[in-house]
Structure 1
Amino acid sequence: MLTTEKAREKLEKILIEKEYRVYDKASKGLFAEWWDKAKQWIADKLAGLFPSIESADNAASSILIAVIIVVIVLLALAVFFLIRHYKRERILRNKKPLQSLKDINWTYHEHLKEAEKLETAADYSGATRHLFLALLLFFHDKGWLEARKWKTNWEYYEELRKENKHRAGQFFHLAHFFDEVTYGEREAFQEEYRQFQSVVLSLLSEVNKEGGGNVAQG
């Protein structure tokens, strides 16, 4: 009885080991086949480009290893930049544009004048900030959003979506540039500022035309 049980256990062990060896051999065989095909493809290309190369197969192996290393490095860099971008976006999204009482107590006309003064001094980052705050307070005056110190641009965007989705989309892009310049590591240059200024002033003029008013910076 004991001998029979031991024999059965031994047989099962042999079968398991045999199955593993077959599986391992099949896996290695598949990888070896793929590797050989890849090397042969590169070797053929090298032989076609450089007929004088004597050991195209060895060169192909070296190139294939180099390509694999480059791909791994590029993937690692892509993951790194994606994670950094995601973290940065989260930080910017939680920032609040109205930082002081002056920011919220000034009229949008006063912010426009300050933006013009900073623009003259070539402080395009500062001018960007006041130009955006002018737009924000203008929308507040129109009743499309409620400007508060504790609110983020994402919250303002959600409020604007209820009133006008197209205008909310424009605000979203302007807010993204504003956040990067004001809180990020980005500096606003003259050309970028001019584009930003053009969109903001167009929005202000467009809305005022609808309401019968006009907007002039300065």
Structure 2
Amino acid sequence: MPKTITLIMTGASGAQYGLRLLEQLLVLQCKVYLLLSRPALLVINTETEFKVPARASEAEEYFSTLFAAKAGQLRVFEREQWMAPIASGSAVADATVVCPCTTGTLSAIACGSSRNLIERAADVALKERKKLILVVRETPFSEIHLENMLKLTRMGAVIMPANPGFYFRPQSINDLVDFMVARVLDHLDLEHQVQPRWGETKQELADTFPANHLSGND
């Protein structure tokens, strides 16, 4: 059965990670609940060529068209939309990913503040013992950041700082982005062909998924 994934994008640098992940989740037939903070919209419009509308309904139409989502496959919610499914444990997604994740969001989740739907969705994932992945993008980390990451790790969250590897000899920024997106998809237990794994060639990867065609810069 296709998985339901909540994807939260906050205002850290690295909007490309979240956008590429959104694309791949839709390609892999997941149902996606998308939440965008106001700073996230600013970062997207600054770091990328995308111009995402601020209103959730318009952003839903924008991304659905951009990534060829099926009808009803993508839903975008407002930060104060408390009747959204992800506000309750009775309708929690299979997994929640915050990508990119600011240290402010990290702190709010660690404290369980739930002041808006972004924080509430992560809080619900924790209390329902669902997978929560935080792609933190900051450097260097302060003691506060490290303490919050340790606290959330002990709660069962996966802390995955946006630290792409170089052992596969990346040729472009897109290769570095795909490294992180592939790691997130691995932790979501989703088979993909975004990037070869250690010891695997691109041809071996293509042979494993001969019928798949992914958009982007693979």
What TM-score do the two structures reach when normalised by structure 1? 0.23
Higher relative contact order (CA 8 A, sep 6+): 2
More helix per residue: 1 or 2? Answer: 1
Greater C-alpha radius of gyration = 1
